[in-house]
Amino acid sequence: MQNLSQSSSDAKNVYCCSLGSTDLEEILKIENEVYTHPWTRGNFLDSFAEPYEAIGLRSNNGTLVAYFLLMPILDELHLLTFAVHPQYQGQGYARLLLEEMRRLAKSKNYLSIMLEVRISNLRARHIYQQFGFVEIGRRKGYYPVDQLTREDAIVMRIATSDSANLG
Ligand SMILES: CC(C)(COP(=O)(O)OP(=O)(O)OC[C@H]1O[C@@H](n2cnc3c(N)ncnc32)[C@H](O)[C@@H]1OP(=O)(O)O)[C@@H](O)C(=O)NCCC(=O)NCCS
């Protein structure tokens, strides 16, 4: 357990923790419920073998409420996956997780966080924008929709240091 974002986490009776392969079954259960194209067990195991930041929120009864995975690229963190347990959605946990992400980036001196989001994912886009992420580009046909169709990604970034250049 980590003593992170104590005040906001306490208000919601959750705590932050590092995640690894022992948490995989819980992560996959959420991942498979919330994504049309979920990450596989292999994707997660590969990520856990890397020096990525895998952070979860657990409720005081131990349930995994939400998680994210960040890949460092030089002075930037790239958000790889980010999800809230279906039963805990709409209660502000995404925002709490984003606050945690920013706190972590600052504490490790990363200048920014970058992410891609499906153009159709209005909910996630709204949350990212509310939090301060700005659109910096688009990737045409980045995500599969079905066997015949693909959709664009919106690329967003937020500065996590006053000196970050968001060009
Ligand atoms: C996107 C996701 C992380 C949001 O988690 P959450 O805990 O429900 O989000 P929060 O409760 O913190 O915030 C909900 C916000 O979305 C808004 N919202 C809800 N549905 C919306 C919609 N269809 N369009 C736009 N905004 C919407 C709410 O009004 C609220 O905004 P507000 O705080 O300004 O009122 C969660 O729905 C999820 O896990 N989705 C599946 C995985 C995913 O899409 N991850 C992002 C990949 S880039």
Ligand 1 atom at minimal distance to the Cα of residue 84: 39
1 part of a folded domain: no
The yes-or-no verdict on residue 139 having pLDDT over 80 is: yes
> What is the average pLDDT score of the chain?
92
- Kindly give the interhelix angle for 41-48 and 24-34, rounded to the nearest 10 degrees: 130
Q: For 94-105, write each residue's pLDDT tens digit.
A: 999 999 999 999
Asked if residue 133 is part of any domain, the answer here is yes
Q: What is the mean pLDDT of residues 65-70?
A: 98
User: How far, in Å, is the centroid of ligand 1 from the Cα of 126?
Assistant: 7
Q: Is 149 contained in some domain? A: yes
HSE-up of 120 (CA within 13 Å, CB side)?
A: 10
Measuring from atom 1 of ligand 1, which residue has the nearest CA?
A: 124
Determine, yes or no, domain membership for 166: no
Q: Considering the domain boundaries, does residue 50 fall inside one?
A: yes
Q: Would you give the DSSP letter of residue 88?
A: G
CATH number, domain containing residue 124:
3.40.630.30
Q: What percent of the chain has pLDDT over 70?
A: 90
Token pair, residue 59, equals 């409720």
Asked about 116 being catalytic, the answer comes back as yes
Q: Between these two residues, 1 and 106, which has the higher pLDDT value?
A: 106
99 is a catalytic site residue: no
Query: Span 119-134, mean pLDDT?
Result: 98
Q: Is 39 among the domain residues?
A: yes
C-alpha span between 16 and 19 (Å, rounded):
9
Predicted TM-score of the model (pTM): 0.91
Residue-range definition of the domain harbouring residue 50: 6-159
State the DSSP code for 67.
Answer: E
Quick check: is 164 in a domain?
A: no
Q: Which helix (H) or strand (E) holds 144?
A: strand 134-144
Domain count, the chain: 1
Whole-number pLDDT of residue 4? 47
pLDDT one-digit tens code per residue, 6-55: 545 656 789 999 999 999 999 999 999 999 999 999 999 999 999 999 99
pLDDT category at 70 given cuts 50, 70, 90 is very high
Give me the catalytic one of 15, 88, 93, 128.
128
Give the annotated binding-site residues for acetyl-CoA: 121
Is residue 72 one of the residues assigned to a domain? yes
Residues 6+ apart with CB under 8 A from 79: 68, 69, 70, 101, 113, 114, 115
Residue 124 CA: nearest ligand 1 atom is: 1
